[in-house]
Amino acid sequence: GYAVQQPYYVDLTVLDIYTSTSSSPTFTSSVNPFSSDVAPSQSINNLYAKIKNQGTLISRPFSIIACWYNPQNPSMRAYFGQSQPIPKNCFKIVRVSYGLAPGETRVINLGNWDVQGKIVQVKVDYYNEIPENNENNNEMIKNFGGGDVSPITCIDPDGLNYSVKSTCMDSLGGHTDYCSSDTENVLVEYYCPISGQPMCTPTQYVCSSPNICIDGKCSELGVLKSDLIITNIERKSYGTIEGTKITMMNNGTAPVSGPRSFFTKVTYYLGTEKWEQEYQIQNLGYVPGATFILEVKDKDIKGKAVDISAFVDSKDDVDELNENNNGLSVWLSPYSCEGWNNIYEIALEDFGLRAPKYENVYVLKTEMVYGSTVLSSEEALFTVEEKEPTHKACQNNKCVRISGAGSDQCETNSDCAGGGSCNENWLYGQWSNCVGGKRRRLCYDANHCNTTYSKPSNCLYYVDGYYQTESCCVPNWQCDEWSVCYKLQGELVQSMTCRDINECEPENSSYTQYRDCCIENWDCKWTACMNGMQQKICEDINYCGTEFTKPVTEIRECEKQGIAWWVWLIIILVLIIVVLAILIGTGRLPWFKKKPKTEEAKKYPQLQDYIKKASERGMTKEQVRTKLIESGWPEDIVNKNLK
């Protein structure tokens, strides 16, 4: 196995498209090119798009495009992504000069347009300049109604076809099929469950073998393919310079095949400086799961904060399972604020800053400099818009002044006994993590009244919205040992009490947990005698985890014991047996001496002497017998003496 660092990424999306009526619009060069058919008496709207970076990395500059959209002609979507000045039926391209920070939301003014009775489509990152974690959530389609346009009903171009990726359309906009990131090989397919129903409905479908879920559809696995991705970008020292180490991996199901080499493009952004280079990577047939490294040594980033983007297979030389996951962008800081204890905040008004004179999107850049070294550099975007006209209207049974042109609806609170035209409904988002003893959550008006009359007083504006901030505490739980056994509701139990020593929530700063009583059963043994000492070791064979009845630990002096008496007895008996065996074998014991073979041997000593000498000369018994018989010895006597 291998460990892969969670990558940083950008994820731009369109949260909302809306208008704000102006009684005296200013027609500029950005006026609708199709506005010649708009009568002067018609209302003109300021069109806005709310853009958010849902990723974990600050984005680079990007472009936004707005078009008229015809729901009966979905092919209009094909205009997006083409690098041309302005596609047909599209009326505005806005260049955002600076990126969005992670989690940052910005409202972009798209100019003055008559959108009544039309459908507007807005796409962020129109030129596809930024590698993103999700390339399928960059656009939104919104119907602004009107008598000449019927409400959008559910339109599913693929008709619940799991092998085709499409965008289901309804009154909320477009819903594109995608592969689930939570469950492997599961397709989330949007479809129209009933003909004419106004809403698209998602369903989950498990792609059956040999199909796999790729790019919003179930595709037949067929010939196995590679899938090149970038898993990590980090700093690395090379002598006196600091370069970049880029780790790539084959995330596919087959080795990398095809060309002998492919290319990886690396782009650096250092402030206003941009540096870009393509590097040739030798194709060694990397197997699935294999990683390979590109080391960039010709760009020194030592001591610099830099935004780096890398794109493997930049010339599309390798046929891959997924052609949309080749890029990774990271922001590398030469310093870290981790562990700092002197972080402080300061209000912008304390710097004497004033709002710029003209409408636009501006960047506020702050740098911390020591000598000639930039310790940190941060950028934040803000939008300057002309002050909108206001009028009086009823809100929560009160006569208040709200933004937007129009005639006054009331003068005093008594005119609002029946309630206002828009009732604010302020809700809270989820709390953030506790950082530096602080946490915050978003405050928002679910009814989008664009007023703050009933906004909770603890919700203050910060960067891109209203937030409630409060002190927070990180619990530090410490638990006692298990108690002795006792009866609780007729059962023998043990208890353990845990306490938060930081007392983050005083009313819930402790709790008690219980378990069935565990009876200790200690088994004790003395260790071997070592250096004149031995210790008694006890083990609870029931593994209760408590020591209420554990015997006292004992250590005592000891002496090595001599050899036992029965060992000596065995040794003596063995020695006696060995000695007897030797004496018997040598014939030294008189009662074990050999007797003559027969009584005849005693009668004929001369005969025995001859037989002995003949045998020593090498004669056989038959030869001796023959000689003796020939010499006149009786045959029976010869035979007896030869036995």
Instruction: Tell me the pLDDT tens digit for each residue of 315-329.
Output: 999 988 888 888 888
Asked if the structure places residue 166 within a domain, the reply is: no
Q: Cα–Cα distance between 92 and 70 in angstroms, integer?
A: 17
- Do 498 and 549 have their domain in common? no
Residues 425-439, mean pLDDT to the nearest whole number: 85
- Do 265 and 314 have their domain in common? yes
Share of the chain above pLDDT 70, in %: 77
Asked if the structure places residue 225 within a domain, the reply is: no
Asked if the structure places residue 180 within a domain, the reply is: no
Q: Cα–Cα distance between 12 and 100 in angstroms, integer?
A: 9
Residues 501-529, mean pLDDT to the nearest whole number: 85
Asked if the structure places residue 213 within a domain, the reply is: no
Which of 173, 198, 178 is closest to 188 using CA atoms? 178
Q: Cα–Cα distance between 183 and 546 in angstroms, integer?
A: 43
- Do 91 and 13 have their domain in common? yes
Sign of dihedral through CA atoms 454, 460, 465, 470? negative
- Do 296 and 421 have their domain in common? no
- Do 502 and 414 have their domain in common? no
- Do 398 and 466 have their domain in common? yes
- Do 321 and 443 have their domain in common? no
Residues 243-272, mean pLDDT to the nearest whole number: 88
Note the pLDDT tens digit of each residue in 178-204: 887 666 778 889 888 765 556 788 888
Beta strands in 171-305 (DSSP E): 173-176, 178-179, 186-191, 201-206, 211-214, 217-220, 228-238, 241-250, 261-270, 273-282, 291-296
Report angle CA 128, 220, 288 to the nearest 5 degrees.
Answer: 70
Number of residues in the chain: 643
With bands split at pLDDT 50, 70 and 90, how would you rate the model's confidence at 594?
low
Note the pLDDT tens digit of each residue in 507-520: 788 888 888 888 88
The per-residue pLDDT for 312 is 94
Share of the chain above pLDDT 90, in %: 11
Asked if the structure places residue 214 within a domain, the reply is: no
Residue 37 in this model has a pLDDT that exceeds 50: no
Asked if the structure places residue 167 within a domain, the reply is: no
Q: Are β-strands 459-462 and 398-403 bridged in parallel, bridged antiparallel, or unpaired?
A: unpaired
90-99, 137-146, 398-407, range with the lowest pLDDT? 398-407
Beta strands in 438-541 (DSSP E): 438-445, 459-462, 465-471, 477-479, 486-488, 491-500, 510-516, 522-526, 533-540
- Do 112 and 125 have their domain in common? yes
223-237, 491-505, 551-565, range with the lowest pLDDT? 551-565
* Contact partners, residue 594, CB within 8 Å, separation at least 6: 587
The per-residue pLDDT for 418 is 54
Residue with the two structure tokens 């927070």? 472
Total number of domains in the chain: 7
- Do 359 and 457 have their domain in common? no
Asked if the structure places residue 63 within a domain, the reply is: yes
- Do 50 and 67 have their domain in common? yes
Asked if the structure places residue 327 within a domain, the reply is: yes
Q: Cα–Cα distance between 444 and 582 in angstroms, integer?
A: 112
- Do 128 and 86 have their domain in common? yes
Residue 149 burial by Cβ neighbours in a 10 Å radius (0-12, 13-18, 19+): middle
The 3-state DSSP class for residue 39 equals coil
Indicate the pTM of the whole model: 0.30
Task: For the chain, give the mean pLDDT.
Answer: 77
The domain in which residue 414 lies consists of: 390-471
Report angle CA 552, 555, 559 to the nearest 5 degrees.
Answer: 145
The per-residue pLDDT for 160 is 81
Q: Cα–Cα distance between 510 and 549 in angstroms, integer?
A: 28
The per-residue pLDDT for 70 is 55
- CATH code for the domain of 88: 2.60.40.10
- Residue type at position 373: T
- Do 627 and 572 have their domain in common? no
The per-residue pLDDT for 388 is 63
